[in-house]
Structure 1
Amino acid sequence: MLENGLKDKLGELTTELDNLKEDHAKELAMVKAQAEARAVQAQGVGRALAVDEATLPRVSNAMTIAELKVELKARDTTGKFTKGLSSWSKGDFMCELGQGTPRLSAVAEYRCVEELRDLVKRQKCAVERERQRVLREQEEERRRKREEEQEEMRRQEIERQREEDARLAKHEEGLHTHTSLCHGCPLAPTRELLIRANEYRRMPRDENPLTSCDVCNVEKEYNPKVKIVWSCVKCDYDICWECYQVESLPEDQRDEKRKEIAKMKEAERKAEIKRKEYNPK
């Protein structure tokens, strides 16, 4: 469909350019006809290009500097006098042109040629503008196509991520099979749960440094030894192994378990102190 649209647009531009060329050709023919009519009227004969030397206008001191400058540029075929004429005096112009020489810029044929040059210049400018317009439209079409392709790629990537999230959510839902007194919902092993680390990678939930135990509120970032063992994705609930040993017991047994854990920690602390005393390095 896009190719058909481009073909139709190119056809319209071609037709418009042909019409423009036809108009320019008509204008050129009209200018030629006017020039020939002026030449015939000036000569009084049917030969438009006939030159009567006796009737030719001449260069004289009566001409202004502006007229002399136009005459000098009319005779200049090499582009030598395109610049630097502002400092010339009338004597400089007369010396270069010559007193009494034919005045080319006043001849009807020369004016006709100048009109033709202007017409050709306008046509070239019009053709160039049309070419630039077509190029801009083509570039705009290519840019729009690239944006559509990029948008389609982004849409496909978002859709792929959604499908991946849905698949993982279904998989994680099947992992929540462990029931415990510490939480009302079934729990899943934290190690087997994945969280998004960035746009392209996932990581195990227990490796996330911001994961913290919801009972003791200790984050792995500040205590790497904390081991998160059970989680509930729906409730965003996590519990470490030490708290799980206590919270999974009935209410009447939890205090006794806490005291037992406290004694174990104290024994480990004393053992560590003794080890450092015997091995100071």
Structure 2
Amino acid sequence: MLTGSARQAYRLEAFWIKGRRASRDRHSTRVCGRRLHGIYCDQAQQIPIGTAAGGPCNTEKLVLTDNLYNYVLAHTPESQVLGRLREATAEQHAGRERNQVAPEQGRFLAWLVEALSVRSAIEIGVFTGYSSLAIALALPDNGCLVACEKDEHCMQLAREYWCAAGIRHKIEERMGPALGSLQALIDEGRNSSFDFAFLDADKRSYKSYFEQLLHLLRPGGVMVIDNVLWYGRVADPKETAKNTVALRSFNDALLHDNRVSFSMIPVGDGMTLCRKKP
């Protein structure tokens, strides 16, 4: 009989194998199966590190093989309710599973919320609720997450699991296009009132979302932005699809944005952590 931890590892590995098979049918590469190298930058001088100008940043690169990724998953705490939500998403939204964050990303978001003592958070792009559930579970009982989503069908599953986890009272829903929802929050006078923001929505609107979220974040607040490596396509100059170009432009703009300090990390499909400067 498998122990609890062994069952979790087996379940996560099975999920990962299934996801990789589905991904291969849709894409030739998958970011969480390989380590993709982003732009390392000396913010003081705005000089990319690891290029001819800056010299090598490391002599040996880590390759995240399937076995190593399975090891990461086996050492990623995941509550039963989060695991059940992943399985329900795969069943009810087959073919769209990649729209939800990976287990290690969900755990990372929860860890940040705990470490930063977040009380008020906002999420742009709920999908079926995995990331919002991870965030809300980490919030204190009197904490609040404003969840912005336009797809009612996806929100039905999210609500079901928010209730199952006992955190429904922490969620404030905002249905409809996110740009409108964010503007409504600004108009309500909620500028500088959020400790934490997670952005995972329409890639071509990232710049607009970012500007509105900066108004809503308090000084010192943290914003996490997902999919900044976009399956590795942002680093391929031959890739000219609209989403790729939009993300590449967004990433480049951050290098010159003095309102935030940030770090791009190759977790999942790439995540950028931004702190709003006081």
TM-score (norm 1): 0.19
Richer in helix (by share): 1
Greater Rg by CA: 1
Structure with the higher fraction of residues in strand conformation: 2
